[in-house]
A and B are shown apart, each in its own frame.
Chain A
Amino acid sequence: MLTLQFIPYIDIEVLGSPERVEKLLKVVKENKIILLEGKLRPREEADLIRRTMEEINDNFKGIEISPINVHRKEDLAFFRKVKSVLINFLLGDRQGLTIIGPATVVKEIKADPDKIQLLTEDGSHKKKR
Chain B
Amino acid sequence: MINVFKKFLNLFFKDLFLEKGEVKLGLYGPPNGGKTTLANKICVDWIGEEMGRASKVAHETREVQIKEQITIKRDSKELTFSLVDTPGIATKIDYEEFLKAGMKEVEAKSRAKEATKGVIDAIKWLDDMDCVIVVLDGTKDPYTQVNITIIGNLEARKIPVLLVANKMDLKKSDIKHVQAAFPQYEVIGISAKTGEGVDVFYEKLFELRSKAFKNKRR
Contacts and interface: CB of A to CB of B under 8 A. Distances in A.
Contacts of B92: 52, 56, 61-64, 103
Nearest to B154: A42
B156 interface: yes
B94 interface: yes
B156 A42 contact: yes
A4 interface: no
B26 to A, nearest CB: 14
A76 interface: no
B91 A52 contact: yes
A102 B91 CA distance: 10
For A49, A62, A63, the residue with the greatest tally of chain B CB atoms inside 10 Å of its CB is A49
A53 interface: yes
Give the bracket for the number of chain B residues in contact with chain A: 20 to 34
Contacts of A66: 145
Contact of B116 (A43, A53, A64, A103): A53
A49 B93 contact: no
A62 B94 contact: yes
Interface stretch (B5-13, B118-126, B198-206): B118-126
B152 interface: yes
B91 A65 contact: yes
B91 A42 contact: no
B194 interface: no
Contacts of A103: 91-92, 94
Contacts of A61: 92-94
Interface of A: 41-43, 45-46, 49-50, 52-54, 56, 58, 61-67, 74, 103
